[in-house]
Structure 1
Amino acid sequence: MIDLENEFPPLNDFTYLNTASSGLIPKSVIAWRHQHDEDFLLNASLFRDDHKILIEQIRQSVSDYFKASMDDIALIPNFTFGFNTLLDGFDPKMEFLMLKGDYPSLNWPVERREFKHRYVPIDQNLEQNIRQAFEQKRPDVFAFSLIQYISGICLSFDFLADLKQAYPSTLFVADCTQFLGTEPLDFKASPLDVVIGSCYKWMLSGYGNGLLFVKDTAKAKLYPKVIGFNSTEYKSFEREDAPFNRLFEPGHHDTLNHGSVAEAIAFVNSLGAENCFNALNAIKKNAMEAFVNRGLIDDFIATREEHSSIFNLKLSSADYYNLREAGVISSLRGDGVRVSFHFYNSTRDLDRLLQLLDAR
């Protein structure tokens, strides 16, 4: 059995409850990165001769893990690049429905391009608000974060599947940065037309990498404007032959950062992905119960059928700094202190947090 505290050294020094801000990176991934750069140092351009093979191996690893077709996967540097590039491919007359207070890098680009858009509030009636907005006028695109970065509120796949069945022509575009790596995703079977996410949080891959999945339902309505020589070089080198997914990979690939995604996936698989998901769900359940009992989260969140492992606690900025001084790493977000739990967190981490809060 892998010693998680050895694999993730910060666990020895902190009570790390901040994966929603920045995930830990495994030692094994760091070791691979060192070897990668050593090979580059010693072999220079020879090292890059086979980089196309590595990129397709990475794509295959992502395909297997998320059950997405190889042709539907683009390797991107981060969510924000992917989403902005995607938006430039939409008809400017398309109308968007979004969530008020969602991640700024999701809402701002739509506003800046002056797409017609509406917002629904994120409150105890979130799903009802969304349904009512659809009933009032069906949007061309429903763009949303699957998990809210401030509160941890999430939309269930059951709800989204029902909504998609009722409105099949609406494109569902999901920011999954706070979701990827927290539970299984079968992209082909999901109601989502587009998934975009950065991999430096729950995917444990470090910075500079992200994933974009696009189904044929969305490809038919998208006309990406971005292109580069790298988009074509796997085929005839002719611009018209660029595959759709490669339009989002216009320049040279960063094998270090994209390779880190595949290595992180391999690490999770070595632990047993299902084991990791089960461990996360267990600590999430315990945290929810403890926070509800202490009145640290909004009552309506406790009554929702599903919630993520992100919690916004009713604490002050002074509480945040006191926790930080005591070695508990969290984030100031919204009106409270955000804590988040991954599979590498233990009941000891939760107990330490509760001990400090109870002693206030």
Structure 2
Amino acid sequence: MHPEFPHKDIIHLNHAAVGPWPRRTAEAVEAFARENLHYGSRGYGRWLETIAATRELARQLIGAPEAEDVAFVKNTSEALSMVAFGLPWQPGQNIVIPEGEFPSNRVVWHAAAQRYDLEVREVAIGEEPELDLLRACDQATALVSASAVRYDSGLRMDVQFLGNELHGRGILFCVDAIQHLGALPFDAPGCRADFVMADAHKWMLAPEGIGLFYVNPEVRDRLQLNEYGWHMLEHAGDFDNPALTPSPGARRFEPGSPNMLGIQALHGSLSLLLETGMDRVDEEIREHWLHLEDRLRGLGCEILSARHRRAGILTFRPSAGLLGDTPLETVYHRLQADGILCAMRGGGIRFSPHFYHETADLDRAVEGLREALPGG
């Protein structure tokens, strides 16, 4: 058992939904609560130092040039909305997205299209999803938005290839990285991303209600602001200053008081990932994926995720012979009841292991699946 994850009676294979907190994150939240209980905001200056330190950790995780290129947001949807309703659209432009994206990466573009007289092109993707998206682009394409890793199948997009191709065509590139950040290394400038956003409650192992938002400094001024408050001003904290100039950095996207509790927690979680090293995290997750694939195939399951496109998500479906007349949902509920945390997505059951698991955990999960099947 990993010392940071002393789980009781569960095998947590649901990091693509809501991940668990590491021990250090829970301890940081407990310490922050105790400090508030006994000393109130006496240490507020130190809390501000934690914000700066966490922003630096976020910079390292996302590969941003400067810490001030990363904003803290409530969630991915908020950041996507800032892009969708902040860009200076022109009537007749189009936005290209893959078919079957998570609803957050669909609803904002359709809402913007209705308001600004745009077209949303939802593109069926196949074996070469990047080329499918590029073929759908034309002279009127203003932006392509795609998940770096699909939430259902776990398909990993080649964001570096796609981003460089889009940059050469003068098309903005928006990356929903919620299933990527915390599981694989990421290089925002290297993939020519203009906008990157992700909640921290999945692979980043932090609470819900806090997320990251990167905006390419070269396009930052093109994104019009729709939310305002004291914290987004250049002279935040200098309340007597009459200037109302937005911060030149990404803090301009943080209108009001920060989520201080969430940032305390995020600092703990990001520190663990970066101390471990994202290359090692990636390697461990991919090895866990291969081990699960081998065991699930041996049990008689169809693997719905592509090995050569793998990230952290493995979606599978037991064969008809294994299921018989039992609905897949019944098997899923049996797994949950037995403490094997997973999800139903993309027509199958989705396992999403993290770096800290041991092989024995994965084997117990597969054995639990066997027992959850009819006749098990």
TM-score (norm 2): 0.85
Paired residue secondary structure (2:261):
helix
Q: How does 1:184-333 map to 2 (within 5 A)?
A: 184-232=185-233, 233-234=235-236, 236=241, 238-291=243-296, 294-298=300-304, 301-302=305-306, 305-315=308-318, 316-333=328-345
- Displacement after TM superposition at 1:161 (Å): 4.3
- Displacement after TM superposition at 1:218 (Å): 2.6
- Displacement after TM superposition at 1:174 (Å): 0.6
Q: How does 1:1-360 map to 2 (within 5 A)?
A: 3-4=1-2, 6-10=3-7, 12-68=8-64, 69-93=66-90, 94-113=93-112, 114=114, 115-134=118-137, 136-137=138-139, 139-164=141-166, 166-167=168-169, 169-232=170-233, 233-234=235-236, 236=241, 238-291=243-296, 294-298=300-304, 301-302=305-306, 305-315=308-318, 316-358=328-370, 360=373
C-alpha distance in 1, partners of 2:186/2:52?
20
Cα distance change of structure 1 residues 41 and 289 upon mapping to structure 2, 3 Å threshold? same
Letter in 2 for 1:306: R
Task: Confirm or deny: 8 A CA contact 1:138 1:170 kept in the other structure.
Answer: no
Paired residue secondary structure (1:296):
strand
- Displacement after TM superposition at 1:66 (Å): 2.9
C-alpha distance in 2, partners of 1:208/1:36?
17
Task: Confirm or deny: 8 A CA contact 2:160 2:191 kept in the other structure.
Answer: no
Return 5+ residue gaps in structure 1 as ranges: none
Paired residue secondary structure (2:180):
coil
For residues 147-180 of structure 1, the C-alpha deviation after alignment (integer angstroms, 9 at most, x for no partner) is 111111120234324523542x111101111110
Return 5+ residue gaps in structure 2 as ranges: 319-327
Paired residue secondary structure (2:209):
coil
- Displacement after TM superposition at 1:127 (Å): 2.9
Task: Confirm or deny: 8 A CA contact 2:62 2:181 kept in the other structure.
Answer: no
Cα distance change of structure 1 residues 307 and 295 upon mapping to structure 2, 3 Å threshold? same
Cα distance change of structure 1 residues 91 and 341 upon mapping to structure 2, 3 Å threshold? same
C-alpha distance in 2, partners of 1:323/1:184?
31
C-alpha distance in 1, partners of 2:13/2:94?
38
For residues 283-323 of structure 1, the C-alpha deviation after alignment (integer angstroms, 9 at most, x for no partner) is 1222234445644223xx43x63222212222511221222
Task: Confirm or deny: 8 A CA contact 1:194 1:218 kept in the other structure.
Answer: no
Task: Confirm or deny: 8 A CA contact 2:71 2:254 kept in the other structure.
Answer: yes
Letter in 2 for 1:279: E
- Displacement after TM superposition at 1:137 (Å): 4.8
Cα distance change of structure 1 residues 324 and 45 upon mapping to structure 2, 3 Å threshold? closer
- Displacement after TM superposition at 1:84 (Å): 1.2
C-alpha distance in 2, partners of 1:88/1:162?
24
C-alpha distance in 2, partners of 1:290/1:216?
46
Cα distance change of structure 1 residues 37 and 325 upon mapping to structure 2, 3 Å threshold? closer
- Count of aligned residue pairs for this structure pair: 351
C-alpha distance in 2, partners of 1:57/1:237?
29
Question: Following TM superposition, where does structure 1 have runs of at least 4 consecutive aligned residues deviating by more than 6 angstroms?
Answer: none
Cα distance change of structure 1 residues 273 and 312 upon mapping to structure 2, 3 Å threshold? closer
For residues 306-358 of structure 1, the C-alpha deviation after alignment (integer angstroms, 9 at most, x for no partner) is 22221222251122122223332111223221111111222223222333444
Letter in 2 for 1:283: H
TM-score (norm 1): 0.89
- The farther-off stretch of 254-263 and 348-357 is 348-357
C-alpha distance in 2, partners of 1:50/1:178?
32
Task: Confirm or deny: 8 A CA contact 1:95 1:140 kept in the other structure.
Answer: yes
Task: Confirm or deny: 8 A CA contact 2:74 2:211 kept in the other structure.
Answer: yes
